[in-house]
Structure 1
Amino acid sequence: MTPVKHIVFDIGQVLIHYDPDVAFRSVIPDAAERKWFFDNVCTHDWNIEQDRGRKWADAEALLIADFPDREHHIRAFRQNWHQMITGSIDESVVIMRKLIADGHDVTMLTNFASDTLREAWERFPFLTESRGVTISGDIGLIKPDKAIYDHHVATFAVDPAATLFIDDSAKNVAGAQAAGWQSVQFINPETLRADLARLGVRI
């Protein structure tokens, strides 16, 4: 296996916690109704299109046309977005900062809407400490499409075979591997430390 020269972090559920349910507990108090809402209205598939670059106003309009009685709840998704980021994953941040301090080439690759990531930067300055970040919402590409990994390679001049990608999603890990990268699925910081050590990255 090619020695790791470049380390690429995902952001959500690797460096920061993301939980839409938390933001909706006061909006839709009933747990079963909240689940129905996320399963049928503000779904993952709907939200990922904002990560691809769709504007929130357009996204809301699409849903309100189909669920006019849910307009307040639909608009609450963006309005309450800041509550969905419940905090940092501190030990992951420690690992990332140690890698940077030790001279490793660290970048980020994330499925994130352009505006909400910039809000996250304000709250979590460590998200700006790597050499750079590929933001899906800025370029109109999302993981696990091969094109976003290729875009990152071209932008940051990394060698795919020598690049390690860390992501919580098995699909995104597989996408990176299909693009010729090395990749591990993030489970928790302790497992990440073990994965790095196994791949010859000392921290």
Structure 2
Amino acid sequence: MANDIKHIVFDIGKVLIHYDPHIPFSRLIPDEAERNWFFANICTHDWNIEQDRGRTWADAEALLIAQHPTREEHIRAFRKNWHEMVPHAYEDSVAIMEGFINEGRDVTMLTNFASDTFREAQERFPFLRKPRGVTVSGDVGLIKPDIAIYETHTKSFDLDPAATIFIDDAPVNVEGAKAAGWNAVLFTGADKLRADLATYGLKA
């Protein structure tokens, strides 16, 4: 069983690159309580995930500005300052991925990401072009943990689900992959990832 893994699928945000919207907003809204309120009530996770599903930033901004006209500048700042939210790669995780690619293993990526910001990320982090391919939620109009996005990835890259392992930082997305018949591990750091992969016969 352990050596039957033929396909390795990586998530991107918080697995290969860091993501934290508080980075630019700690400057734009210095008061921590107000900043937390802003993310809890205006530029929320649920609002942002719809851009990952394919909604345009223009539509997303217009929706919030109509509801919170006095917050227009901060609402527009989310996309405008997105580049600051992804300040660096996780070099140890990237090394694991590149090691598998260099060994000739089949590596792809599956990510909840808006189409435009993903292309921006690829320009800044060239290793995102190294795997065989990627399913970007914003391109296909589906988001993890919807089983349909895993099935789309399976079909797009001709994967055998039982021979596939997925690495993601969100427990709900790991469970989604398992529901699609994949093997999956929760990413909490490179050392734990190496140990988890070793149980599947993958030396990282």
In the alignment, the residues of structure 2 paired with residue 121 and residue 179 of structure 1 have an alpha-carbon distance, to the nearest angstrom, of 27
> Offset at 1:26?
1.4
Q: TM-score, normalised by structure 1?
A: 0.99
Structure 2: runs of 5+ lacking an equivalent: none
SS of equivalent to 1:201: coil
In the alignment, the residues of structure 1 paired with residue 84 and residue 38 of structure 2 have an alpha-carbon distance, to the nearest angstrom, of 17
Matches within 5 A, 1:23-172: 23-172=24-173
Identity among equivalent pairs (%): 66
Aligned residues: 203
In the alignment, the residues of structure 1 paired with residue 34 and residue 90 of structure 2 have an alpha-carbon distance, to the nearest angstrom, of 29
Look up the match of 2:16.
15
SS of equivalent to 1:109: strand
SS of equivalent to 2:18: strand
SS of equivalent to 2:43: coil
Indicate the larger mover: 1-10 or 186-195.
Answer: 1-10
Q: TM-score, normalised by structure 2?
A: 0.98
In the alignment, the residues of structure 1 paired with residue 18 and residue 123 of structure 2 have an alpha-carbon distance, to the nearest angstrom, of 15
In the alignment, the residues of structure 1 paired with residue 44 and residue 5 of structure 2 have an alpha-carbon distance, to the nearest angstrom, of 36
> Offset at 1:161?
0.6
AA at the equivalent of 1:172: N
In the alignment, the residues of structure 2 paired with residue 45 and residue 70 of structure 1 have an alpha-carbon distance, to the nearest angstrom, of 18
SS of equivalent to 2:184: strand
> Offset at 1:25?
1.3
In the alignment, the residues of structure 1 paired with residue 199 and residue 176 of structure 2 have an alpha-carbon distance, to the nearest angstrom, of 21
SS of equivalent to 2:30: coil
AA at the equivalent of 1:13: K
Structure 1: runs of 5+ lacking an equivalent: none
SS of equivalent to 1:200: coil
> Offset at 1:23?
1.4
